[in-house]
């Protein structure tokens, strides 16, 4: 009986350890703010890709790769406890140092973080803030296997998804 319990505990430990390693380092960003006042969060994974047209070639954007998951989080400062600038700063500070800020553009209030190197990436995170303290703030995160060719394409997708141009 002790042998069965020991084997069961080992299997549970291995399974739990494996599932923890499969998590993204950016999960803290979403876990911190999910279900907080003023925050709307949703995600869809690869099985949902057929329900959406994410064919970037038709739009002339040069982004290649396999999207596994997209996460979307928006913050409304009128319903939350933080101003939009404070939310943007606090949320972006939750990304670990392994994520590189690869673009920051004040004219459209967009920033892009990447996990990867100059040729391949596994994650892109687009933060779109507002000019006014009452403006919404958006996080759009792409998870998958990407060839880094055109960061403007990633930013444009993020801006298109927030209808922020």
Q: What is the CA angle 157-36-155, rounded to 5?
A: 10
- Shortest CA distance to 123 belongs to which of 138, 142, 95? 142
- What SS3 class is residue 17? helix
- Per-10-residue mean pLDDT, the chain, length 165: 42 38 73 89 70 42 69 93 90 92 83 86 89 88 80 66 59
Q: 7: helix, coil or strand?
A: helix
The predicted pLDDT at position 52 comes to 45
Query: What Rg value do the Cα atoms of the chain yield, rounded?
Result: 18
Whole-prediction pTM = 0.70
* Residue 84 · residue 123 · CB < 8 Å: no
- Contact (Cβ atoms closer than 8 angstroms) between residue 147 and residue 123: no
Give Cβ neighbours of residue 156 (< 8 Å, ≥ 6 apart): 59, 61
Q: Name residue, tokens 């494996």.
A: 18
Vertex 84: Cα angle to 82 and 87 (nearest 5): 60
């Amino acid at each position: 009986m002790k042998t069965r319990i020991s084997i069961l505990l080992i299997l549970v430990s291995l399974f739990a350890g494996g599932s923890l390693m499969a998590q993204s380092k950016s999960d803290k960003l979403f876990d911190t703010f999910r279900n907080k006042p003023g925050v709307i969060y949703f995600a869809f994974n690869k099985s949902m890709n057929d329900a959406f047209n994410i064919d970037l070639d038709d739009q002339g954007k040069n982004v290649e790769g396999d999207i596994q998951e997209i996460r979307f989080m928006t913050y409304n400062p009128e319903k939350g406890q933080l101003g939009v600038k404070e939310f943007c700063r606090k949320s972006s500070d939750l990304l670990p140092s392994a994520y590189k800020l690869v673009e920051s553009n004040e004219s459209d209030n967009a920033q892009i973080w990447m996990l990867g190197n100059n040729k391949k990436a596994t994650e892109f995170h687009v933060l779109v803030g507002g000019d006014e303290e009452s403006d919404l703030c958006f996080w759009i995160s792409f998870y998958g296997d990407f060839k880094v060719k055109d960061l403007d394409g990633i930013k444009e997708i993020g801006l298109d998804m927030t209808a922020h141009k």
